[in-house]
Amino acid sequence: MIVLIDADGVLEDLSQKWVTYLNEKYGTSVRYEDLTEWDMTPAFPSLTRDQVYEIDRDEEFYSRLEPIPGAVEAVGRLLEDGHELYVVTTTPYQVVKPKMERAIFRFFPCFTWKNIIITANKHLIRGDVLIDDGVHNLMGGDYRKILVTAPYNRNFDAEANGMIRVGSWDEIYRAVSAMAADEKES
């Protein structure tokens, strides 16, 4: 199967580190769990949009990122199972290189530039399944959808919208394996 995997919040912990970064820099006290929408600007009412998103200009920030627990192992298992994996990200072009080199390629050496798809329109990418934490990225698209639970999507009814909700990489692995088994039976 062709498995499309989002980077931020799925492979690595961008949003969590982003909140920490803003709190350290501006003396705010927002918790990652307090985010109610994917755009975190409303969670930081004392900051301007430019202040919240200035992180996109800080190449060193990406060295702070860590893999989501279980991601490295599950990605390895998916590859061993014979799946074709691609990272699909909406990373701003200005920081694609440092983000990939300092986070994705560092933790997931199985990925190279040949496995990276950069787009703001994930619904246009072809694959068998998309794994993402952004509901907006899973709307549309001709693939099965796995929604990774995050504070900003916890109230979204995934099942009613044709998505499978997961809370860990073990659950992601099991969901993809079940999809692959269903595909073989068809």
- pLDDT score, position 95: 87
Residues 111-128, mean pLDDT to the nearest whole number: 96
Contacts of 129 (CB under 8 A, 6+ apart): 1, 2, 3, 4, 143, 144, 145, 146, 176, 179
Overall average pLDDT of the 149-156 stretch: 96
What structural domains does the chain harbor?
A: 2-13+66-185 (3.40.50.1000), 14-64 (no CATH)
> For residue 93, what pLDDT band results from cuts at 50, 70 and 90?
confident
> Taking residues 97-108, what's their average pLDDT?
95
Query: What's the pTM value of the predicted model, to 2 decimals?
Result: 0.94
Q: pLDDT value at position 22?
A: 96
Going by pLDDT thresholds of 50, 70 and 90, the confidence category of residue 85 is very high
SS (H, E, C) the chain: CEEEECCECCCECHHHHHHHHHHHHHCCCCCHHHCCCCCCHHHCCCCCHHHHHHHHHCHHHHHHCCECCCHHHHHHHHHHCCCEEEEEECCCHHHHHHHHHHHHHHHCCCCCHHHEEECCCHHHCCCCEEEECCHHHHCCCCCEEEEECCHHHCCCCCHHHCEEEECCHHHHHHHHHHHHHHHHHC
Reported confidence tier of residue 38, pLDDT bands at 50, 70, 90? confident
Task: Specify the higher pLDDT residue, 57 or 115.
Answer: 115
